[in-house]
Amino acid sequence: MTHDFPPVEGGGSLILAWQIRNKRVLVVGGGEVAAGRILNVLNADAKVTVVSPREGLNPEVAYRIEQKQVDYHDRKFETADLDNVDMVLTAIDDPEASTRIWKLCKERKVAANIADVPPECDFYFGSVHRDGPLQIMVSTNGNGPKLASMVRKQIASGLPPNIGDAVKKVGALRKKLRKVAPEPEEGPKRMQWMSKVCEQWSLQELTDLSDKDMEILLGFYAPNEIPSSEVVRMQSRPDWAFDGSFGWSV
């Protein structure tokens, strides 16, 4: 018997959305690379500690410290810095010190990224496009960061300008749906119904969803129906009329 299953392609990375909100992240270094790493983890709501001599600070890193967006130690790395941390990022021009930190992290089972040394990384930073809650990452598995950036820009240029707003509205609709149908056994139906909404409504229609529109749309969940946006808005805004040809008129 033959099976039409996808082949295994080894050599890749498992790309995940790592939730590090309120996790403790140690950044060793204060240069340009460290600045990018710090912004990445701050955007993920991590608690960040930076260890680096002040004379080597990048202006952006100095700004983060001045604004108290990070905790700061004006000195070189010490082993005790690894106490009670969840992630370590190094960005220093000292290969021997970087490898030493890597080995200490391995002993303590702490996930680490040693900048520009792929073999000493538990994970890589890809090139990320962000539009509100939407994040798209391109990774070359440490082979070509510049190429990843070029690919990311090409992908981003083809995205609709309102896609971030559409994602926000879909997220809000999902939360409301869980209140309407909270039972675990409703899970498959919820997923299928949300999928149909996303498939049948345009991005602009999803972006334009108001809270009242959502309440009316959710009324079609029980019979497992997907009304058109025109039907929903006719019920949501009875003072509007749909002329059937050119759109809405008041």
CATH assignment at residue 135: 3.30.160
Q: What is the pLDDT of residue 165?
A: 93
What pLDDT, on the 0 to 100 scale, is given for residue 93?
A: 92
Query: What letter does residue 25 receive in the DSSP assignment?
Result: E
DSSP helix/strand/coil, 89: strand
- Dig out the tokens for 205 from the structure: 């229609």
**Separation CA 15–CA 125 (nearest Å):** 10
**What pLDDT is recorded for position 101?**
97
What positions carry a catalytic annotation? 116
* Residue 18 covered by a domain: no
Residue 249 has what pLDDT? 43
Q: Number of folded domains in the chain?
A: 3
37-44: long-range contacts at Cβ-Cβ below 8 A with a sequence spacing of 24 or more?
37/89, 37/91, 37/113, 37/115, 37/125, 38/64, 38/70, 40/125, 40/128, 41/87, 41/89, 42/69, 42/70, 43/130, 44/18, 44/19, 44/20
Residue 8 lies in a domain: no
pLDDT at 210 (0 to 100): 93
Residues 4 and 7: their CA atoms lie apart, in Å, by: 9
231 and 204 part of one domain: yes
Query: What pLDDT does residue 240 have?
Result: 54
- The whole domain housing 217 covers 163-249
Task: Say if 12 falls within a structural domain.
Answer: no
Residue 170 confidence (pLDDT): 96
Identify the pLDDT of residue 239.
61
CA distance 6 to 26: 39
pLDDT tens for the chain, 250 residues long, are: 677 898 899 988 888 889 999 999 999 999 999 999 999 999 999 999 999 999 989 999 999 999 999 999 999 999 999 999 999 999 999 999 999 999 999 999 999 999 988 899 999 888 899 999 999 999 888 788 889 999 999 999 999 888 999 999 999 999 999 999 999 999 999 999 999 999 999 999 999 999 999 999 999 999 999 999 999 988 877 665 545 443 444 4
Distance, CA of 122 to CA of 106 (rounded, Å): 10
Query: Do 29 and 106 fall into the same domain?
Result: yes
96 part of a folded domain = yes
